[in-house]
Amino acid sequence: MKNIFPGLPLVESPLFPALKSKWGLTTEEERIADDLHEKGFAVFDFPDSDLNGRIDRIQRHLGPRYGIDFEAADSDKTVGERRIQDAWKEDEDVRAIAANQAVINLLSKLYGRKAFPFQTLNFPIGTQQDAHSDSVHFSSLPERFLCGVWLAMEDIGPDAGPLFYHPGSHRWPIMSNALIGRRGYGSDLISAQDPYGPAWRALCEAHGSQEEVFLARKGQALIWCANLLHGGSHQKNSALTRWSQVTHYYFDDCIYYTPAFSDETLGKLQLRNLVSVSDGQLRPNKYLGEPVKAHSEMPRRRLFPRFIFK
């Protein structure tokens, strides 16, 4: 069957139930596709035979950069840095996890466009990040061609600030400045998520949506859809670690931009200039196969980089 909506990820298409039998999915791929379609996230075992070795090496290599005393079991682990962004540039194991070919093939099959990783985040503890959808930080035109893959680098219990999410929230309206009546282009923000917090809370309340936590086993991974509401729950025990890696993926032949600092309706987009983690090559913004240029009057976005989450 021809996909008449190529502007939607296959897995998020309303025609998904009719289309999926034609994709040649294995039983496991179909389970993942069904979960993404219905719930907005899917759990799978990370396919890498050297994963334990990579995790050991990443912890040894990145550990000293967080300023945390990992040696003493009862030391407060939450006092240092919470994240290292784009460690793939100097850590081959972080890069290999992000560029795992089986994961890229899986995402490409599920979305109907070729996936590429463009950002890594390595966390030694819980992020305690408020509920948000990544699509205010990273979006695409057409929409929804973005996902995160979160990997548990150790067993994560309820006191370590596990990842949480609101199942089904990927179907709620995609959060945007137009939706909340705000102008974003050229704006200043402490955190790009701040303007949308009240709207997300109102949606949760209206839907009676409860957060669910992911008590992950080491080596389990979770894909979240661009508009799935998720975050890091409160870390009840500050002596624990919660090692994890998030890789964000975009898909070929899209415009990549930051909605928090854009006004789509006016054609003012804060475009992103992306490099793929897989090959270090630029991935130009494209629409229907043709390159798209930045808006000529585009000012630099004004941010307070220290506080920005993405």
Ligand X SMILES: O=C(O)CCC(=O)C(=O)O
CB 193 to Fe ion: min, Å:
9
Chain centroid offset of residue 234 CA = 19
Q: 40 and 168 in contact (C-beta within 8 Å)?
A: yes
Partner whose footprint covers residue 111, from Fe ion, ligand X, none (CB < 5 to 8 Å by kind): none
Cα 163 from Cα 54, distance rounded (Å): 21
Q: 199 and 36 in contact (C-beta within 8 Å)?
A: no
Q: Which residue, 19 or 149, has its beta carbon nearer to ligand X?
A: 149
Question: Residue 300: which of 185, 197, 201 has the closest Cα?
Answer: 185
Residues 147-176 that bind ligand X (CB under 6 A): 148, 150, 163
Token output for 198: 């009240």
Pattern of binders to ligand X over 65-104, x per CB under 6 A? ----------------------------------------
CB 123 to ligand X: min, Å:
6
Q: Where are the alpha helices (DSSP H) in 171-248?
A: 177-180, 197-207
Q: 32 and 42 in contact (C-beta within 8 Å)?
A: yes
263 binds Fe ion (CB under 5 A): no
CB 310 to Fe ion: min, Å:
8
Partner whose footprint covers residue 163, from Fe ion, ligand X, none (CB < 5 to 8 Å by kind): ligand X
In terms of phi and psi (left: phi > 0; alpha: psi -120 to 50; beta: otherwise), the region of 91 is beta
Q: 22 and 16 in contact (C-beta within 8 Å)?
A: no
Token output for 97: 């996890």
Q: Which residue, 20 or 144, has its beta carbon nearer to ligand X?
A: 144
276 binds ligand X (CB under 6 A): no
Residues 223-262 that bind ligand X (CB under 6 A): 230-232, 244, 246
Cα 15 from Cα 17, distance rounded (Å): 6
Q: Which residue, 144 or 230, has its beta carbon nearer to ligand X?
A: 230
DSSP annotation of 80: S
Stretch that binds ligand X, among 55-63, 94-102, 126-134, 151-159 (CB under 6 A): 126-134
134 binds Fe ion (CB under 5 A): yes
Token output for 289: 């196969």
| Backbone dihedral angles phi then psi of residue 9, each to the nearest 5 degrees | -55, 140
Partner whose footprint covers residue 246, from Fe ion, ligand X, none (CB < 5 to 8 Å by kind): ligand X
β-pairing verdict for 163-165 and 230-232: antiparallel
3 state SS of 219: coil
Q: Which residue, 122 or 262, has its beta carbon nearer to ligand X?
A: 122
CB 241 to ligand X: min, Å:
13
Partner whose footprint covers residue 251, from Fe ion, ligand X, none (CB < 5 to 8 Å by kind): none
User: Which residue, judged by CB position, is nearest to ligand X in the bound state?
Assistant: 232
Instruction: Give the orientation angle of helix 27-39 with respect to helix 101-111, to 10 degrees.
Output: 60
Pattern of binders to ligand X over 9-48, x per CB under 6 A? ----------------------------------------
Interacting residues with ligand X (CB under 6 A) = 121, 123, 127, 129, 134, 148, 150, 163, 230-232, 244, 246
Interacting residues with Fe ion (CB under 5 A) = 134
